[in-house]
Amino acid sequence: MAWWKGWSEAEGRSVAGALSFDPKPDAQTLYKAMKGLGTDEQAIIDVLTKRSNMQRQQIAKSFKAQFGKDLIESLKSELSGKFEMLMVALVYPPFKYDAKELHDAMKGVGTSEGTIIEILASRTKAQIREIIKAYKEEYDSDLEEDIKSETSGYFEQILVCLLQGERDNATLYVDTALARQDAEALYAAGEKIRGTDEIQFITILCTRSATHLLKVFEEYQKLANKSIEDTIKSETHGSLEDAMLAIVKCTRSVHCYFAERLYYALKGAGTDDGTLIRVIVSRSEVDLNLIKAEFKKIAGQSLSSMILDDTSGDYKTALLNLCGSDD
């Protein structure tokens, strides 16, 4: 399944929110959990992991109205480490959260290219527009300008191209002749010549619809006798290669792409908590159940069992709540 929806929202999400919901008592529960000496982490987990993002926004509003305090700031002052990161992430509205993750990926020394690629390659045209708007509101800065100042060369060009949001997610009719033309152009830009015409790759990958690209990949395989992924791996390297492969993976199956992101965040020594938190928080109300099914195929075990082995304490409890059951 590519990245347009052929599934119901209810089927995909692992967090559905509370059915009979009133933000006022939830806000009071959170206030009590953080008041005075010590913190009732379990009470915070029970509220924030079992409400939808829309409900969390109402809780934050009620928290401010009742106690004159900002919920995110209160959580930051009472919690710490990975657990704090996760709880704070849950309170951000989705587009502001993506904007925050992009901002954090670029601030300070060095740039977290993986985060930028993940967000820009996997979001829809409409979502990218909202992220740009949220970024401007939150940081009084232009996302495109910031990306240009933090990156360079072809990698900068592919990110800027993704920011333009020219890919349309659902083109029902695909012209085979045009797809073949694009496949031939990619072949001529890579396998056929010494060196690579990166601009041709960037243009086709960033400005064609997902349905059209799937046909292009099919035609390319026939023409080159190898997959587009194999060509990208042999013709490019570094962050540019990562970005191109992410676009191809998201086009083929956004669920497989995120399952892979989660798998690499958890496998081996140490855990990439930033990626783990971001993917689980941003997909829990979209398609995490579908991602979990793909994860099992890749990892040979469930996402919950890997989280159980790799994390601990309140952080683990909260992550497992957000993941939902593995049945």
Q: Report the candidate in 299, 301, 242, 306 with the shortest Cα–Cα distance to residue 272.
A: 306
Place of tokens 């676009």: 247
Number of helices (H), then strands (E), in the chain: 21, 0
Q: What is the DSSP letter of 7?
A: S
Q: How many residues does the chain have?
A: 327
Give residues with Cβ within 8 angstroms of 198, minimum separation 6: 154, 157, 189, 236, 240
Q: Is 270 annotated as a binding residue?
A: yes
Q: What is the 3-state secondary structure (H, E, C) of 157-224?
A: HHHHHHHCCCCCCCCCCCCHHHHHHHHHHHHHHCCCCCCCCHHHHHHHHHHCCHHHHHHHHHHHHHHH
CA distance readout (Å), 123 to 130, 166, 274: 10, 12, 18
For residues 264 and 262, give the distance between their C-alpha atoms in angstroms, rounded to a whole number. Answer: 6
3-class SS at 19?
Answer: coil
Pull the structure tokens for residue 307: 């989280």
* DSSP conformation class of 44: H
Measured distance CA(93)–CA(91) in Å, rounded: 7
Query: Any known ligand binding at 190?
Result: no
Judge residue 137's burial from the number of C-beta atoms within 10 Å of its C-beta, 0-12 exposed, 13-18 middle, 19 or more buried.
exposed
Numbered residues of the known binding site for Ca(2+): 268, 270, 310
Numbered residues of the known binding site: 268, 270, 310
